[in-house]
Amino acid sequence: MTAPSPPSRYRFGVFEVDVRTGELRRKGVRIKLNAQPLQVLLLLLARPGELLTREEISRELWPDGTFVDYEHGVNSAVNRIREALSDTAASPLFIETLARRGYRFVAPVECIAGGETASAQRESRLTSETASGPEPGSAPETAAKSRPRMLASAEDLPKTPHAVVQTLFLLLQLMYLGFYVGALANLAEIEDLLSPLHRATLIFTILIVTAAILIPVRAFVLCAVLFRAPAVRRKFLSLWPFLLLVDVLWSLSPFLLLHHIDFGLAVACMALLVYSPFAQRSLILMGAGRTQGEIPATVR
């Protein structure tokens, strides 16, 4: 009797994982997922509804036992999977955490054997393309990618050490907090500086209101990245259009220091600050706020 072929693909919800190519797709659109999180996802999909302990996962990821803090590495890999699937630990749709034990895949999983016929594969591919457009790499998408884009994607950015990216991002948040606190601490001087301007009262009010709102916003962003909150990249990118607007507005803040610096220096600082929101977005895409679970620590 012929043994059943091992699954070549898994389907769950709107997602599909190709075991052979190591690709995760959502309605036919590829989602970037690094090797170790993908390996953990495959382990969970192979045993849906069953407990998969952290020790079992660590043995698969680091079979030679060289990884020191395996719990941190496993947690990091699971957080990456949840981010890719838009899942949360508090209300899991796919991956449930069993406290102090491990994880369990709770959604229904369809296993597609390696012997699936070519016609069935083509039918599946056509269904995905009908629902969400052509597969990545097809002619229309290639043409779209060839067109210049105003904003960089993660693939366009250089690979940079995590510590550098994280530090630069946190310093930018501290810089903005310094702007807001400094402005509110020198309201009398700023009011005197703005007094010759048309609608000086309105400008002064906007300055106070935006500074008061942005202090907790910046504190949230800083803490989310510093403590590597789950899905911090998605949350920041959702918040980024708002931050872009207010950061461009606050790029005028060097002119509040005209009692202490000359006009030319204020213009130069303003030009740099206009770029700052785009730099923050790039740093998030380069990995600020993410853990380093993919980098195994070896005992030497």
Question: pLDDT tens, 150-196?
Answer: 787 777 888 888 889 999 999 999 999 999 999 999 999 999 989 99
Q: Is the pLDDT reported for residue 148 higher than 80?
A: no
User: Same domain for 98 and 215?
Assistant: no
User: Same domain for 173 and 246?
Assistant: yes
Which pLDDT band, with edges at 50, 70 and 90, does 119 fall under?
Answer: very low
State which of 82, 111, 140 marks the end of a domain: 111
**pLDDT tens per residue, range 19-62:** 888 899 998 899 998 888 999 999 999 999 999 998 888 888 87
In a domain, 277, yes or no: yes
pTM: 0.52
Q: What percent of the chain has pLDDT over 90?
A: 45
Q: How many domains does the chain have?
A: 2
State which of 52, 77, 111 marks the end of a domain: 111
Q: What is the 3-state secondary structure (H, E, C) of the chain?
A: CCCCCCEEEEEECCEEEECCCCEEEECCEEECCCHHHHHHHHHHHHCCCCEEEHHHHHHHHCCCCCCCCHHHHHHHHHHHHHHHHCCCCCCCCCEEEECCCEEEECCCCEEEECCCCHHHHHHHHHHHHHHHCCCCCCHHHHHHHHCCCCCCCHHHCCCCCHHHHHHHHHHHHHHHHHHHHHHHHCHHHHHHHHCCCCCHHHHHHHHHHHHHHHHHHHHHHHHHHHCCCCCHHHHHHHHHHHHHHHHHHHCCHHHHHCCCCCHHHHHHHHHHHHHHHHHHHHHHHCCCCCCCCCCCCCCC
In a domain, 148, yes or no: no
Range of the domain at 173: 156-285
In a domain, 48, yes or no: yes
